[in-house]
A and B are shown apart, each in its own frame.
Chain A
Amino acid sequence: MSDPLLSFDRVAITLGGREILSPASLTVARGEFVCVIGPSGCGKTTLLRAAAGFVAPSAGVVSRGGQAVRGPSREVAFVFQDYGRALLPWRTVAANVSLALEAAQVPAGKRPERIAQVLQTVGLSAHAGKFPAQLSGGMQQRVQIARCLAQQPQLMMMDEPFGALDAMTRESLQDELARLVRDEGLTVMFVTHDLEEAIYLGDRVVALRANPTRDKPSLAALIDVDIPRPRSQLETREHPEFLRLRRELYGFLGHH
């Protein structure tokens, strides 16, 4: 917590006259993996979009590296849930990744090497020449992650990235992401509605509440996950701490 990369200082967001997020303060340290959970409509995605500079908070300040966030930045990559819509269907896998490099004005000569490197990282080297429609959902989401990596961001915002995938694919992508984040030293904010996913991946879990009131603000709980890494799908999910956190957080997802 000594080196906060991202901080929310009493950030509130009102959209269309409705308070989506009541004043919430939170810091994310460099290299930390923070998961955000909560029932639908609790403002998880909105919080992420505010952090990425897509929406301006109605009150409070989001700052990154000590500077107030005023708009999107290439330092912040955003992985959308609907990979099918976030990829350019007329570009190949490699060309989709290239878009991030073109945006960053990386000289054309240096692009192929960087593209090959990130595709290798996400295990798509063999599919560089394919179009998104020729790939499975899990592979398409990997393309999006590769494009975000090519951006060389400080921060990776992930909005329910594995929500639309089948359980098997989701588990393998969770493990790949955990490895990737460790290898690349990324800082991640990860929104999910899957409690176990949040505990499995996160260093900390932020639980948000829907329909905040004065005595029940949006930020319902902030919980440290003290489960050793590397984690594994079998052992971690049977770890006593995992089960304890699962029980503790269960109520926040609307199971009352």
Chain B
Amino acid sequence: MDFWGTTDMPALLHLRPFAFPAVLLAALEWWARTAGANSDALAPPTLAAQAFARALRDGSLLSATAFTLGSAAIGLALASVLALGLGTMLGLSRRAASASFLSVEVLRPIPSVALIPLAMLVYGFGLRMEISVISFACFWPMLVLTQAAVQQVEPRLLEVSMALQLGSWARFVKLVLPAIVPRLFIALRLGVAIALVVAVTVEIAANPNGMGYALMIAQQSLDPALMLAWLFWIGLVGWCTNALALRLQSAVARRMGDLA
């Protein structure tokens, strides 16, 4: 029997991953209340928890979260539709793929954040600007993944569709789409992670809305407790959405993997 009591106290075992963060939080609490009492950067976790509770009560937490998640979702949806359409075209036609190769390779590496000034000029502040940058960021990896997925559709199936004279829409819906669904969900999971990161980045850098902006305001008004509360919350939201996307992807892979 070791220190944690593996044999007769298995419940404690589940707490093991939390031990280190708990020690860290306690250390921060102690430091912030003694040596760092005048710090403008860090606040004791207990005060951060109180700030969190206040933000939750006054509704600012929910409205900011809804804005960020909403724009991330809309941006991702837009990128998915475009990437699915264009990726299918590029995947099915070698001519289209070679014609677009250069454009894709030039546009793809542009850091999405570098597009914020342009997006601001075009759309001003607000939802549309944020959505456009999120879509741009999510579009490229999803395009490349969709194209690769379509290129890997069994060529024999495409010949079958030729022999049966399936129309191009029917071929897409009945043949290509079901064949690439498991890979599409991998692309979607990747897109979810990118969308959230870019949404918060745009809010920190430019857009006066959402969780990223709330984080900036807390920092600029020298409220480290509230800033830490937002930081914790953004981390938690990111972890939850990614975990959900991952579960969705593996559920689809399990279902379709049996058949494909």
Q: Which residues of A contact B (CB under 8 A)?
A: 52, 54, 72-74, 76-78, 80, 82, 85-86, 88-90, 99-100, 102-104, 131, 133, 151
CB-based contact A85/B162 at 8 Å: no
Complex partner residue of A151 from B159, B164, B260, CB under 8 angstroms: B164
B94 within 8 A of partner (CB):
no
11 A–B contact pairs at CB < 8 A?
A72-B162, A73-B165, A74-B165, A76-B163, A77-B163, A88-B175, A89-B259, A90-B256, A90-B259, A90-B260, A103-B170
Chain B nearest CB, measured from A67 CB (Å) = 16
The smallest beta-carbon distance between B76 and chain A, in angstroms, is 25
The CA-CA distance from A4 to B30 in the complex, in Å, is 96
Instruction: Check if B165 sits within 8 Å of A54, measured CB to CB.
Output: no
Closest 8 CB pairs of A and B: A103-B164, A85-B156, A90-B259, A78-B163, A103-B166, A72-B162, A90-B178, A74-B165
Chain B: number of interface residues, binned into ranges = 20 to 34
B160 A86 Cβ-Cβ under 8 A:
yes
B157 at the interface (CB under 8 A from A): yes
CB distance from B150 to the nearest CB of A (A): 16
Known contacts A86-B159, A86-B160, A89-B260, then 6 further A-B pairs from the complex at CB < 8 Å, ordered by chain A residue: A54-B163, A72-B162, A90-B260, A102-B170, A103-B165, A133-B259
Task: Pick from A54, A89, A99: contact of B162, CB below 8 A.
Answer: A54
Please determine whether A131 and B164 come into contact, CB atoms closer than 8 angstroms. Answer: no
Of the residues A52, A72, A85, contact of B157 by C-beta under 8 Å: A85
Inter-chain CA distance A131–B178, complex, in Å, is 15
- Contact surface of B with A, Cβ cutoff 8 Å: 154, 156-157, 159-167, 170, 174-175, 178-179, 256, 259-260
* Given A78-B163, A80-B159: A85 in contact with B174 (beta carbons within 8 A): no
B residues less than 8 Å from A133 (CB atoms):
259
Of A54, A82, A85, A100, the contact of B164 (CB 8 Å cutoff): A100
Chain B residue, CB-CB nearest to A103: B164
State in angstroms the CA–CA spacing of A77 and B167 once bound together.
16
- The answer for the CA separation of A88 and B164 in the assembled complex, in Å, is 13
Q: Closest Cβ of chain A: how far from B234's Cβ, in Å?
A: 39
Contact of A85 among B154, B163, B166, B170 (CB under 8 A): B154
Tell me whether A72 and B259 are in contact (CB under 8 A): no
- A62 vs chain B, min Cβ distance (A): 16
A99 to B171 alpha-carbon distance, docked (Å): 10
Q: Chain A contacts of B256 at CB under 8 A?
A: 90
Identity of the chain A residue whose Cβ is nearest the Cβ of B259 in the assembled complex: A90
Contact of A131 among B157, B167, B179, B259 (CB under 8 A): B259
Chain A residues closer than 8 Å to B163, beta-carbon distance: 52, 54, 72, 76-78
* A99/B165 in contact, CB under 8 A: no
Which A residue sits closest to B155, measured CB to CB?
Answer: A85
